[in-house]
Chains A and B, each alone.
Chain A
Amino acid sequence: MIVFLVAGTTLLYAAEPVSVPLFQEETAQSGVTSVYAGDWQYMVGGGAAAFDCNGDNFPDLALAGGEDKASLYINNSKRGGSLRFDRVESGIELTGVTGVYPLDIDGDGTMDLIVLRVGEAVLMRGLGECRFERANEAWHFDGGDAWWTSFSATWEQGARWPTLALGAYIDPKSADNPWGSCTENRLFRPNEQGNGFATPLPLKPSYCALSMLFTDWNRSGTPSLRISNDREYYEGGQEQLWRVVPGETPRLYTDAEGWKFLKIWGMGIASIVFPNDTYPSYFLTSMSDNKLQVLKSSTADAAPTPVYKDVAYDRGAVAYRPYTGTDLKPSTAWHAQFEDVNNDGLFDLFIAKGNVDRMPDFAAQDPNNLLLQRPDATFQEVGDVAGIASFGAARGAALADFNLDGKIDLVVVNRRASAKLWRNVTAEAGHFIALRLQNDGPNRDAIGAWIEVKRGDQMIRREILSGGGHAGGVNGFWHFGLDNAKSADIRVIWPDGTTAPWQTVAADQFYRLRPDQRPFPLVP
């Protein structure tokens, strides 16, 4: 007799022990009270951006507020102490904000923000000390009038300004019957004058993009644009991969080139390079089944084709229904992000979960997931024992080391409820290094660079990206767990293709990396 017990599948992957991290919720004392508010037009979005806007190395927070104003919180935590933020007037206090991404757009060394809204998207120029001003006109950026829900950026080779992709959702004016009304995604390339952006190009067909990510999936040196689309609202659509070659009109990868038809309720994209792998893999959030896509085949003597295999179940990256609580209905997954939360040298996966809005066929009590990666590249759910299994209607999130203690903390944005923060208080976490890239020239954040960290026979790679997740992202220190190693060999492949020499750095330090310079410790 073969009996399928649909519930409890995580037990299948629970054989091998992992070092379980411990998180302590510090929402109340953190000072963060932001709510992602609003009704129908805010059923998606709710992004969080973590970045340093005042130069103290502590990641500050910008949070989407929906119908409420967006908010900026300065991080006043002490190193290794409790999480403490203070809300300040920053200039980003706009209503209708669905998402926020940090990026030094104009290359002046001060972080700027891309603010996605229901209405006009706004570029906010960083003025320093966590002050921002609108820069659409100054940078010739046409923010349009759409339900903006996704973003990604790249620097095309030789460009002095980034290329921005903005993804739109359904037509807000089609509330009577919104299906099939996906509006136009846009690609903003630098203008010829070198002072901002040209008239945007449409990325058509557009299929209600909830996440976008420029990523060099084939290590060609020219990133392509992945778009994850919400099948709920498109007709005839699918997931997309755009080939974006400098000077050329973007075009979609086709079935003939290997890109396979896939329809999901695409909500978020997270990128990971598994240990010793060369190419990135991607976790795609959706309703019920999520996807963990690894490049199907590649050989040294042939360029890879964009053929992916879904290994979510093979590897235990299972998040299709709640793993704790009494609600067994299918899950709804939003933001996803890979970070090493226990510093064992393996990137783990956080997934924000939450019902869209009173959908009775999906879990109402839908816990966030924390899937720890094990040495064999499989995953194990530990969200409940790690302490982050909240049951709010989560949307966006950001994982970053908020108190600079070398352990990744967490903020989650919730719909119609306050955001929540957790401090990572794992006692037995491994060693770490945190690396901030500072590139010469306009691409200050070195978007498109690769960091390689070698420890024994294990190589960990990380592509430096801007975009993805659900409506928000991080920019700042890039965190690597080192397990019990006291040092690591690191190198950077900079966006122009220059490969820096290997350098050995001591563990448990924060470093600034610049081309042709030795790693510089930033935090005493």
Chain B
Amino acid sequence: MVSSRFCALKITLGKFFCVLALLTMGSVVPAAAASAEDVLHKWLSLSLSLIRHTPTYTPPVASRALAYLGVTAYESVASGSPKLRSLSGQLNGLNALPAREAGRNYDEAVVLDAALAGVMRDLFGNTGPSGQQAISRLEDDFKKAAVTGGSSSETLTRSEAYGRAVAKHISDWAEGDGGGTIENMGFPWTYELTKGPEHWVPTNPLARQQQVPLLPKWGENRPFAMPAGTSCPLPPPHPYSEDPSSAFYKEAYETYQTAKTLTPEQKTIAFFWADDAMASPTPAGHWVSIVLQIAEHDHLSLEKQVDALARLGIAMADAFIGCWHEKYRYDLIRPLTYIRRLISPDWQPFILTPPFPEYPSGHSTQSGAAATVLAAIFGDPYPFSDRTRERDGAVPRSFNGFIDAAKEAGISRLYGGIHFRAAIERGYEQGKCIGGYAIALKTWL
């Protein structure tokens, strides 16, 4: 049992993890009206759990959900804030949201709760029975808490209705982006592998679904802020070659040699940023977790939090779209296949090779985008500690800033043995390009 006293004693980054712990230990019964900040943190914390425990939530799908949740939170708060402007008209396909009734009172926590609950129901409608129950209970808890907060019943009713209207607007908007329906866990029913030794082939013969690559059409989805999946293209990878003197072979050999001589620190880094589907909140969830920790540690205003979460989510979702577009444009072989074919037939990378093409590195692209956005919002250097993987046995890591963290996330894929260096370095550059679109959004009045 995690008591509130325990939580109160935590000095740094504590409350976010107390929220996680309390949720986990089944003690979430708000005794009094919840603040909008509590509502935001608890719903997003639950979303990170559901991403981990909902089978369709591979990293691209998770990034989409976190973007919609970020925009939902942002629009809910912005509609009642004199400091923020709506993202409608700035994001692809997002029309003007419902307006609040002029001169009427709203309970901001109730608005935010109703909006987030509605979008959560929509995004995680396919989660399992435990997830459905967790959503229902959190909704119930906040509803019970709301009536103790001093707002009139009319205000509560109006606020809930408005939050629901925001949720419906966001859900309707999301419906047409191409990413809302995930069949067969994201693996196409039929797929034609590209001929040629340089192209991706399945890497896990024991997983039946993974004999075809994940979400090959994801790069065609409607982005949020960037114009299209093609907006930040990459140059081709090194020309495929089996000649030991070639750049391609040398990069493969670097991955092979690095994996053979991993230091304890390199193993720690590879594990810390592994962020696998179904075993973590995925890369996008990892960065959202970082922002939630910073928000708590630095006592960010609600407006600042939703601005950061919205633009971070948008940048990462766009990064996955742009990255996936390039992945399937080049359809490059994974190190596992190449190294076993040409260097060492029994070679094993340190982490699992994910089931899709290599170039560019998804974590590098989206971490580059995330760091670009967060550095623009918070500045860089911006020291912080990250406890995201603590419950999986990883020691918290400290960073001088977002760019340091993103660079480490990128190189972790070399340590893990799942990428060549070019995919990491160019992926990061692609992320910077994509993040620029999120930075360009006008959020503050």
A contacts, CB < 8 Å to B = 1-7, 9, 40, 43, 170-171, 173-181, 231-233, 235-236, 263, 287-289, 291, 310, 312-313, 318, 320-321, 328-330, 356-362
Contacts and interface: CB of A to CB of B under 8 A. Distances in A.
A176, A180, A329, A356 pick with most chain B CB within 10 angstroms: A176
Given A177-B49, A180-B391, A181-B24, A359 B209 contact: no
B438 interface: no
A181 B53 CA distance: 14
A236 B185 CA distance: 23
B23 A176 contact: yes
A234 to B, nearest CB: 10
6 contacts: A5-B190, A40-B129, A179-B130, A289-B207, A289-B208, A358-B129
Interface stretch (B103-111, B131-139, B313-321, B426-434): B131-139
Contacts of A3: 190-193
Contacts of B125: 360
Contacts of B55: 287, 359, 361-362
A359 B54 CA distance: 10
Given A181-B24, A288-B209, A359-B126, A40 B133 contact: yes
Contact of B208 (A40, A178, A235, A320): A320
Contacts of B206: 289, 291, 310, 312-313
A176 B138 contact: yes
Given A178-B24, A180-B391, A359-B126, 5 more contacts: A3-B193, A175-B130, A176-B137, A179-B52, A179-B130
A56 B402 CA distance: 74
Give chain A's interface secondary structure class: loop
Interface in B85-142: 125-126, 128-130, 133-134, 137-138, 141
B130 A40 contact: yes
B392 A181 contact: no
Contact of A175 (B128, B133, B190, B279): B133
A330 B129 CA distance: 17
A229 B190 CA distance: 32
A1 B192 contact: yes
Contacts of B208: 6, 9, 288-289, 313, 318, 320-321
Nearest to A357: B129
B33 to A, nearest CB: 19
Contacts of B235: none
B134 A176 contact: yes
Contacts of A43: 129
Contacts of A174: 24-26
B339 interface: no
B5 interface: no
Nearest to A7: B189
Contacts of B46: 177
B299 interface: no
Nearest to A177: B23
A321 B208 CA distance: 10
Contacts, number: 126
Interface in B137-171: 137-138, 141
Contacts of A181: 24-26
How many residues of B sit at the interface, in one of the four size bands? 35 or more
A359 B129 CA distance: 8
Interface of B: 23-28, 46, 49, 52-53, 55-56, 125-126, 128-130, 133-134, 137-138, 141, 182, 184-185, 187, 189-193, 195, 205-209, 211-212, 278-279, 391-393
A120 B43 CA distance: 34
Given A43-B129, A236-B393, A320-B208, A4 B25 contact: no
A313 B208 CA distance: 8
A263 B211 contact: no
Nearest to A170: B130
Contacts of A362: 55
Contacts of B28: 176-177
B391 A235 contact: yes
A231 B192 CA distance: 32
B125 to A, nearest CB: 8
A6 B187 contact: yes
A53 B195 CA distance: 63
Contacts of B134: 175-178
Given A232-B53, A288-B209, A289-B208, A329 B184 contact: yes
Nearest to A320: B208
B117 to A, nearest CB: 14
A235 B392 contact: yes
Contacts of B185: 288, 330, 361
Given A6-B184, A287-B55, A310-B206, A173 B129 contact: no
Contacts of A236: 391-393
Contacts of B23: 176-177
A4 B211 contact: yes
Q: Which 9 A-B pairs have the closest CB atoms?
A: A177-B23, A174-B26, A357-B129, A236-B393, A176-B26, A320-B208, A176-B137, A236-B392, A2-B193
